[in-house]
A and B are shown apart, each in its own frame.
Chain A
Amino acid sequence: MQFSFHQQRQDLKDAMSTDYILQTRDLTKEFKGFVAVDKVNLQVRRGTIHALIGPNGAGKTTVFNLLTKFLTPTRGSIHFNSHDITHEKSAQIARRGVVRSFQISAVFPHLSVLENVRIALQRKLGTSFHFWRSAKSLDVLNGRAMELLESVDLQSFADTMTVELPYGRKRALEIATTLALEPELMLLDEPTQGMGHEDVGRVADLIKRVSENRTVLMVEHNLSVVSHICDTITVLQRGAVLAEGPYEVVSADPRVLEAYMGTEHG
């Protein structure tokens, strides 16, 4: 199972070995003289799961914020599908198909679970400015919303107020909401953070499942998750790329061991 999945991925990678969905060139972010992200050249291959790892404060989340323009880069450029998106706005980038999640669970707590997913679906109807139209007009989306909830095992919670969901379920809902946009590239910021053991496994499986036909770039601390599902790993340290490659290569790199995994493996 594990092997065939990796084999499939490998085939996919070979077929599109030079097809990069996302590239950055010398991406740099300075905060009043402090360089948080230092000339990062990231290349994310289409159809892969790519992990961004590194010790605390290495600049992983800052990179995410730059890629989705929640922060403006000081220098450098970002290219998605060969389009320069460096100067586009966050919402514009989202509409291009780059959809991110957040480190803390990003749900709408006082909407029902179904409504959370529907918010993502309703933009395509083009009626989101129609303040004179009944919200019942959104019911046509309920079928698709339920399908998405089923794909993350949340169908029985459809009418639950989201604030009442357990944490792991909220993360699953977040993934369903992101999937509703059918993103080409999903950016997941620590999807298993703060989760219990069984939830970690469930969410990792879920990510693997939904990554078919799309590309995932994720920040992740849990190395067992990274080693199981990720094809390529980029290690950041103090804002700069320290190493890059598949898990076997990166985990054997002495610089990485020293900077990051040394503490993990004792």
Chain B
Amino acid sequence: MKGKHIGWIVLIAVGLSAPFLVYPVLVMKILCFALFACAFNLLLGYTGLLSFGHAAFLGWAGYVCGYGVKELGFSPELGILAGTATGAALGFVFGSLAIRRAGIYFAMVTLALAQLVYFLALQFPFTGGEDGLQGVPRGHLFGFIDLSDTMNMYFFVLAVFLVGFWIIDRAIHSPFGQVLTAIRENEPRAISLGYDVDKYKLLAFVLSAGLSGLAGATKTLVFQLASLTDVHWHMSGEIVLMTLLGGMGTVFGPIVGATVVVGLQNYGAELGQWVTVLTGVIFVLCVLAFRRGIVGELALLIKRSGIRM
């Protein structure tokens, strides 16, 4: 419990000071991916379901938010809500179909559905196809906070992230989260205790997809762009990497994972294509030697050294 409080304090302190130390747009990007990874972790780390189609929720939420704000005159908050709803609705469809299968088949169904909506995004005229949806205005939050100001935008993104992260943290430590953990640990036993596990998995899936949508919609406002990159299956793979690297099944792990991967992509940009190789090497190292991820291994070290968290 105490360790978690320290984690929250560090998180807020870093969140408040980061834009004065680092390029704010980079921090906003990290925050969006961190939220995305945390939402993904709710499913992978706490329910034991490996989705390989989460890019669909991130990307489509971005398109709906972007289109709403740019073409329909939505306010930024309405655009974000619309994006979140899109993620949740898509999650309901994906989840309903995929949870009938387990393991690798579950992952394949989510991947297939994500590919399907990728091609829809490529073909529909309103998404801008290969060009994407460009020049999305950031607008005025609640009608009076000008989001074209970078610092205003930053603190708005930080607030969105903290709210999203709080919801995930709470869901993990709720009666619902207890049942999810039970399902992850021993599904037949959870069934034999009278739980309709499919309903719990579906709610977890919808929550995860909705929060991924929140991340995607926010990201669109930050970059004023919704593009195919975010619906592409590479993105679904990247989020697995971030979550595993940071530590799946740990509350703060995905944030660390997202920071490392996004930071690496940003500062390693001058290395060109070699960044991909570097990320690959890190991923292999992580899977071979640090199975618990950065936060998971740290937590184990602290536990072994006898400090109570």
Q: Please give the residue numbers on chain A whose beta carbons come within 8 Å of chain B beta carbons, in ascending order.
A: 68, 70, 89-91, 94-95, 99-102, 106-111, 115, 118-120, 122-123, 125, 127-135, 137-138, 177, 181
Which of chain B's residues 141-175 have a Cβ closer than 8 Å to chain A? 167, 170-171, 173-175
A135 to chain B: closest residue by CB: B173
Question: Are A125 and B193 in contact, with the CB atoms below 8 A?
Answer: no
Can you report 26 residue pairs joining A to B where beta carbons are below 8 Å apart? A90-B191, A94-B192, A99-B194, A101-B192, A102-B192, A107-B186, A108-B181, A111-B185, A118-B178, A119-B179, A123-B194, A123-B195, A128-B176, A128-B179, A129-B203, A130-B176, A131-B174, A131-B207, A132-B167, A133-B175, A133-B176, A134-B173, A134-B174, A135-B174, A181-B193, A181-B194
Q: Which are the 3 A-B pairs with shortest beta-carbon distances?
A: A94-B194, A108-B185, A131-B176
- CB-CB under 8 A for A119 and B193, given A108-B185, A131-B207, A137-B175: yes
Give the A-B contact count at a CB cut-off of 8 A.
100
Question: Are A106 and B192 in contact, with the CB atoms below 8 A?
Answer: yes
Question: Are B175 and A138 in contact, with the CB atoms below 8 A?
Answer: yes
- In this assembly, does B270 line the interface, its C-beta being within 8 Å of a C-beta of chain A? no
- CB-CB under 8 A for A107 and B178, given A91-B197, A128-B195, A131-B203: no
Which of chain B's residues 189-239 have a Cβ closer than 8 Å to chain A? 189-197, 199-200, 203, 207
State the CA gap A135–B179 with chains docked (Å): 11
Query: Which residues of chain B come closer than 8 Å to A68, judged between CB atoms?
Result: 192
Most chain A CB within 10 A, of B167, B191, B194, is at B194
Pick from A89, A102, A106, A125: contact of B175, CB below 8 A. Answer: A125
- In this assembly, does B177 line the interface, its C-beta being within 8 Å of a C-beta of chain A? yes
| Chain B min CB distance to A78 (Å) | 16
- In this assembly, does B73 line the interface, its C-beta being within 8 Å of a C-beta of chain A? no
Query: Which residues of chain B come closer than 8 Å to A106, judged between CB atoms?
Result: 186, 188-189, 192
- CB-CB under 8 A for A94 and B174, given A107-B186, A108-B185, A110-B181: no
Query: Which residues of chain A come closer than 8 Å to B191, judged between CB atoms?
Result: 70, 90-91, 94
| Chain A min CB distance to B92 (Å) | 15
State the CA gap A91–B183 with chains docked (Å): 13
Query: Which residues of chain B come closer than 8 Å to A118, judged between CB atoms?
Result: 178
| Chain A min CB distance to B239 (Å) | 21
